[in-house]
Structure 1
């Protein structure tokens, strides 16, 4: 497990790449890195950044965990990128704190470390002396944030321009999360769910869905939650937002038209529900995810 360490109060930072021992470190992508320092440097650093690492589901090795704890106990700042959060969690540094990781791994982080308040929707979380970020690209957002904390917005913006990155990205990780609106396996409600997906542009009600399923309303609501993990209204809203995302990505339809086609009513109501679900606006989402057609 390599550690990237920034040490020193002034720019430029003194960067050290550390491993459990000094020497070559093989990465999962086939490249090899050379760690110039071992864990002693980690324990004495001002800031420790833990990247994604192999075997994160088993937690970090105990000697690495001990080094992270020592760094934190002596007042060092500890940060993680992607699944590096599992190392911080295994060291107990995220207990009682809000944190994030890649959205694909967020449920597992929450399951293995129930004391951590996992937020899968954001790009990074600053908990003061512990900072966590989402997927790999979010590590850039995290590092620019640390620069803003340490040296102000002007310095961070200058660095962002030099590396051709946005000084601050709009929205969070939620806009990247895939939420299939139908359950992965067939249920007694599958026909009703599939029917509902064809009627999203209509004023579809829970009562209409219950009638289609030929169930009393209260029974339908109970069975629906058991089958999908969500209430009918929440499922409908998620399905409508998913349709809106598809339309924004693949068509030139106006926001007003998308709002009508996905059944979210007025443009204002559409923007409200879309932002609450994705953390960004429909227009910003379209700029980020429009499918380029050749």
Structure 2
């Protein structure tokens, strides 16, 4: 197994071990909170958690691919399903993080408007729009990637006798690249640059308000700082290198060889989201404290 495949496998395992239990805890906390008294932030957080759970549920498929040295030894249909289940949660996570940043800013900057009885309806509508936008936008690169798939070792080949190892979403023909690269560039704009700009604006404005207003408690200010740090970690480490590969690929008219390395970093998205869950949800903080206390009690003195 190559060094890149080994690193990919290790990162996937770490992401799964950290992300999955935290996502389950966050999901249970969101459901309990929504059942009691739902507010907009709970709806956004629930959708972010669901995105992470979908991603983490299908992550073992990526582990198997990495363990096989990025050779696709699984059924053909799993390759196409895996592409959707790997990339869609990444795209949706960025938009839901943006929605959370905007909601936190509106909550502090416009507290009167925030209490509008229609805010819950608007929140649900925004979540539906995000989900529809992610699915529709993702269809274009998905279709482009499978044009003339018999000419590129792009997915598991249906023929039994092949000269080269089978790979999933890796090599592309010139025709595929002509369709795929512009689609990837549009994804950079819609799912990275625009959300990053909105998040930066909302959190910079929010921090300025908190600094100027002495009424906010120190704990709340620290939670906002943690929320900002968690969001920036996701965008800077998980999303930025991956989207940079799209920009470079569009300029050079090729699929960069180092793109797989950026995919490794994108999987860490589910590792950073628990920071956001912890800063937003009081129930999540309580659940983590209970789990830590239980683990401490089980450990021998």
Q: Name the TM tier (shorter chain).
A: under 0.3
- TM-score normalised by the chain length of structure 1: 0.26
- TM-score normalised by the chain length of structure 2: 0.25
Larger Rg: 1
Which has the larger helix fraction? 2
* Structure with larger RCO (C-alpha < 8 A, sep 6+): 2
Which has the larger strand fraction? 1
